[in-house]
Structure 1
């Protein structure tokens, strides 16, 4: 199996605390074997996951309302700020001119559809036609974004992580209506899969899907073409885990979140990845593939953590990944 990263790699999920973009980029590229573009939602609207995701939409302007992001006739000041944040962040990456793998993150189509409102105030998810427009627009925007990053970072190999925290709720009809008294109708798995596939395939980059929910729809993600799954080990089902075993044997990588995304006591790094070793053992997979096929991460973004914990978390993940290489069994 061949992957863009080296053995014993670790990375972050996406977000970090604070507003110091230059300092955070320095920490990420200085500490992590697999660096990525940091996200700093603490800077305010437009730096949050949905706001940055909306900035990738092509010819679908949004502006910020008290209830959240909403489609509009023209982009609002917060959307212009989102584009400015993204440009400045890419400038920082270009200054470093990294060689090797670099991971980018974008908010997925189904999380955007469950978060952005139509002009009348209901979620985009309610309107199938609007959802199709959003998926197509996001695919175009992701294609343009990755192409720009490739122009700026000619020595880098790009990995694309699509964040879908709301996808299980979309499938299970758990997204509330604007009134909050009902929930929106579920979307069929084949429709969800095809929408996600369009975005994953748009950029011709190594495709990863991150989902921090417990009920991860593994078949949908794999069917959409994900070659990497960013989940917690506890999300892997004990019963019916044949899908995971087959995915591992087919060369799907796992970005396992092994420590909390908020301040918490950190155990010995080797203990943090013990559930990963146990999973490989349970599935009967040779342990010598662990250090290549598994990338160690926090369980979710670190925006809610203290800056001190965020730095410790990166170091911990690096050491935990190294322990998988040194002691896979």
Structure 2
């Protein structure tokens, strides 16, 4: 059974994954802080352009490593250029907006960055191949990311002294990294699979570098490596609940019994009409069924499970994005009020 002090967002919490639609960062911050009482997040608005996307934003955080945008994607550069400056400017705007809308707020705030493995799969070396294919480059990238994230978290604390940051590491490519499914630049072959022990060690180092900041690892792909992420020291694991299979039951049960927070993506990332979101209890019905199947205590549901959208909301309409976050909050209250 977990101790509530481990989770600064408290029971019956809900949150988003990270991205929001549109280009108005103040409006995104207003929606996020107005709908999520205990775990708002720093929004990403990729529609603004390069550098506001998850890879570009994270590249802008790196310490003593720089990246610029090529037709094939983000590539390591010798010095900071226009793309780096733009990514950092977007992030300053994001922090300005969230600072404005969290005046007087004291609680958890989730900030996100791409994790070391998905970043290594996305960032290119100078020869155009992913950093994933070079073990030395991967180590340098992980060290740069750890230093950059430490500075970012310090900046969040400085700007928002009443806030406790929660760090989310986005690892959508981790299952592909572990199974050798990340294609090379030519597309004719794939990078060699990374040993799970190596992957766990790198994540453990990054999580340790975050100090006392709780770290949630988000993976919206199938075959989430729950055991590996727990072994690396993740406080929580975020996943698309719709992609779970019976093969995942044991891993999810072990995570819950071990006190790992479960950020369950139960609300579609996009929808035709906001009115489709009308049954909060039904939205988390699958989670309740899983809980019963695993024989877990109903009393732990609202403590360990945080409803979220299945993935980012960048592709949704503004109305649907707001409705999805409101629906997640109602689903969280449903878990607390009716755990059985």
With normalisation by structure 1, the TM-score equals 0.97
The question of whether the paired residues in 2 share the 8 Å contact of 1:102 and 1:156 is answered with yes
The match for 1:211 is 219
The match for 1:124 is 131
Which of 267, 283, 286 aligns to 1:275? It is: 286
Question: How is 1:197-276 mapped onto 2 (pairs within 5 angstroms)?
Answer: 197-204=204-211, 205-239=213-247, 241-264=249-272, 265-276=276-287
The match for 1:36 is 41
Give SS of 1:241's match: helix
> Cα offset for 1:240?
6.3
The question of whether the paired residues in 2 share the 8 Å contact of 1:16 and 1:39 is answered with yes
- Distance, in Å, in 2 between the alignment partners of 1:7 and 1:240 is 24
- Distance, in Å, in 2 between the alignment partners of 1:12 and 1:131 is 29
The match for 2:107 is 100
Q: Deviations over 1:268-315 (max 9, x none)?
A: 111000011111111111101111111110000000111111011011
- Distance, in Å, in 2 between the alignment partners of 1:6 and 1:216 is 24
The match for 2:24 is 20
Give SS of 2:122's match: coil
> Cα offset for 1:237?
4.2
- Distance, in Å, in 2 between the alignment partners of 1:52 and 1:282 is 40
- Distance, in Å, in 1 between the alignment partners of 2:10 and 2:251 is 26
The match for 2:91 is 86
User: Is 1:185 aligned to residue 185 of structure 2?
Assistant: no
The match for 1:163 is 170
Unaligned runs of 5+ in 1: none
- Distance, in Å, in 2 between the alignment partners of 1:221 and 1:17 is 29
> Cα offset for 1:83?
0.2
Q: Deviations over 1:219-266 (max 9, x none)?
A: 111111111010122444424633322221221111100011112543
The match for 1:74 is 79
Give SS of 1:114's match: helix
With normalisation by structure 2, the TM-score equals 0.94
- Distance, in Å, in 1 between the alignment partners of 2:252 and 2:308 is 19
Which of 48, 54, 72 aligns to 1:49? It is: 54
Give SS of 1:135's match: helix
The question of whether the paired residues in 2 share the 8 Å contact of 1:62 and 1:72 is answered with yes
Give SS of 1:321's match: helix
Give SS of 2:320's match: helix
The question of whether the paired residues in 1 share the 8 Å contact of 2:50 and 2:56 is answered with yes
